[in-house]
Amino acid sequence: MSTRELIVILLAMALLWVQPEKVFAMAATIAAPEIPVEDKQQLTILTLKWDPKWNRFEQADLSWSLDDDGQWTADLPPGGYQVEIHGEVLGEKAFFRSPRWLVTTAAVDWVLELQPLRIELENQSEPLGIRHLKLRSFATTGEVSIHEGEPIGSVRLYTTTETQLDVTLIGENHDTIALGHVKIMPTHSRIRGARDGETFAAITTISTSGRYWYRRPVSLAEGNPPIASATLNLAHPRGELNVNFREGLHLVTNRPTFHMSYELNAESGRKLISRKCLVSVKDLEEFQLGGPLQVSAFAKILTRLPSTQEYRVGGILNDPSGIEIDKGRSDIHWSETFTMRGNQPLPKNPPDEINLGLLGNPLETVKLAASWEWASKHEELVTPAEFVKFRSANFQLDAPAGWRDRAAIYLHQLEHCRAVLKVTTGRKGPNTTQIRWRLNTHNAKAQVGGKQSWMSMPLNGLYEAVDPFGRPWFMVHEMLHTFNYNHGKPMTEQVNIGRKELGLTRWRIPEDLYHSEDVHISVIPTNLN
């Protein structure tokens, strides 16, 4: 055998060696004999496949088709799967989830059996009309709406006994509005006594009176003008609740925190609107709206890299509880004028060396003349105050005292980002990170590694802090530096992963909010009616 022939044989063997093993897809069938074919054609099917890298299910790009027998069929490559089906069946909303399947070398079959379900809501043994009920979907950032609109006594749908329902719901009666999250699992073990051939409806009663629910009054603070109407807005990661104020109203919830704002409309036509703030329900005695307003100011010189110095000033208006008022959206005749010594106007930004010298320490050289009209007309001359330090478990930042809510939201964003990056990177990250401010809007910096670190971030992130689950510009990138990442391909990959996970995690409700004692399931041998 010649050398040339040997080389050819060896190359052929090498090609055979690296030839990938052929992957065979297995047939999967979903039979639903109780669902008419015309309904099946309108239903939405989502398929999830197990991702061993992330140790969770991820949405898969797979399609299902109806065969001549009215069964859904698909070819599934080996792996773990779960399917969600939702839409309308027999004139009612429907939401189904399959058991988890392990597809190996055998076909998979699932027979979908309809389970009628009726959901009712109560507080202190009194019924609440349900005005909002949504189910968490497999979709990346989605919920399936079962009811949205005028309060109704109960919500009906079709599901299966394999399906766990992750529910967000809002209900109300004459003196109570309730918002909460529960999980419902109408399993075979809970639907006892069913006889073969008889249809049982599961009646689910959700109680909002247990030890895990907070009940707080909603009131108008003293010091408001006569109020024609008032609205409290409570936002959470899956939506929001607008509460129209009325005397004697109580809010009931099992959520520990809300993103809150309010609007007061005075009989005079004036309007007071708060900025959004992060509130801890357990630390509140009541939701109190409005009141006498308090003014403060800040004045600070900061750097715009590489070396330009500029000043920032601002007037701040807060209600008695410290919630910041949105001066731009409110109709209170707000006016603010900043001046220097001798009633001279402030120089244009960026100031030259002479004007920078005249500014000196702006806490000593700058004054604010502010006026507004709410319950009555006010005029005040205010000296700016120093930034104060705000802390969370792992971060520190400096901000005006009147920006307590913006600081709390920004710190929440930081902690949320840190928690995500600890999971996605597998690294602990620093124990404490100091946030430093810069005026650049498209430039940031951070220390690489270390148990105690710093991040130099655009001040715009604090100005624009409204969403506790948002992510200010550069936050993921700069925080990865503190997790000991340098620029390069691994860091770029982690930036993309981190940003994706931040969007997903805002939809996840902490498991400690769900308590089985809030949900009681009974059965009656009947249909949904």
Task: Show me where the domains of the chain are located.
Answer: 26-111, 214-263+278-289, 294-385, 388-495
Burial status of residue 138 (CB atoms within 10 A of its CB: 0-12, 13-18, 19 or more): middle
Check: CB of residue 141 under 8 Å from CB of residue 187: no
CATH topology of domain 388-495: Collagenase (Catalytic Domain) (3.40.390)
**Averaged pLDDT for residues 198-202:** 68
Residue 351 has pLDDT above 80, yes or no: yes
pLDDT digits (tens, 9 = 90+) for 216-272: 999 999 999 999 999 999 988 888 899 999 999 999 999 998 999 999 999 999 999
Give the C-alpha distances (Å, rounded to integers) separating 469 from 216, 327, 405, 432, 466: 25, 24, 14, 20, 9
Residue 9 has pLDDT above 60, yes or no: no
Check: CB of residue 396 under 8 Å from CB of residue 415: no
Helix (H, G, I), strand (E, B) or coil at 418: helix
CATH topology of domain 26-111: Immunoglobulin-like (2.60.40)
Q: Comparing C-alpha atoms, which of 137, 181, 132 is closest to residue 163? A: 137
Percent of the chain with pLDDT over 70: 91
- 315, two tokens: 């007037």
- 497, two tokens: 């992963």
Q: How many residues does the chain have?
A: 529
Check: CB of residue 293 under 8 Å from CB of residue 364: no
Amino acid found at 356: L
Residue 237: beta bridge partners?
none
Q: Which residue has the higher pLDDT, 454 or 529?
A: 454
Pairing state of beta strands 115-123 and 101-103? unpaired
pLDDT digits (tens, 9 = 90+) for 143-152: 999 999 999 9
User: Where does the pLDDT of residue 19 fall: very low under 50, low under 70, confident under 90, or very high at 90 and above?
Assistant: very low
Q: Comparing C-alpha atoms, which of 77, 23, 27 is closest to residue 50? A: 77
Pairing state of beta strands 176-184 and 143-152? unpaired
Q: Comparing C-alpha atoms, which of 286, 278, 294, 284 is closest to residue 223? A: 294
Domains 26-111 and 388-495 share a fold: no
Predicted confidence at residue 305, as pLDDT, reads: 86
Check: CB of residue 164 under 8 Å from CB of residue 187: no
pLDDT digits (tens, 9 = 90+) for 82-106: 999 999 999 999 999 999 998 887 7
Q: In sequence order, which ranges of 360-446 are alpha helices (DSSP H)? A: 362-365, 404-425
User: Where does the pLDDT of residue 462 fall: very low under 50, low under 70, confident under 90, or very high at 90 and above?
Assistant: very high
* Beta carbons within 8 Å of 3's beta carbon, 6+ residues apart: none
CA–CA gap between residue 319 and residue 402 (Å, rounded): 10
Residue 309: beta bridge partners?
303
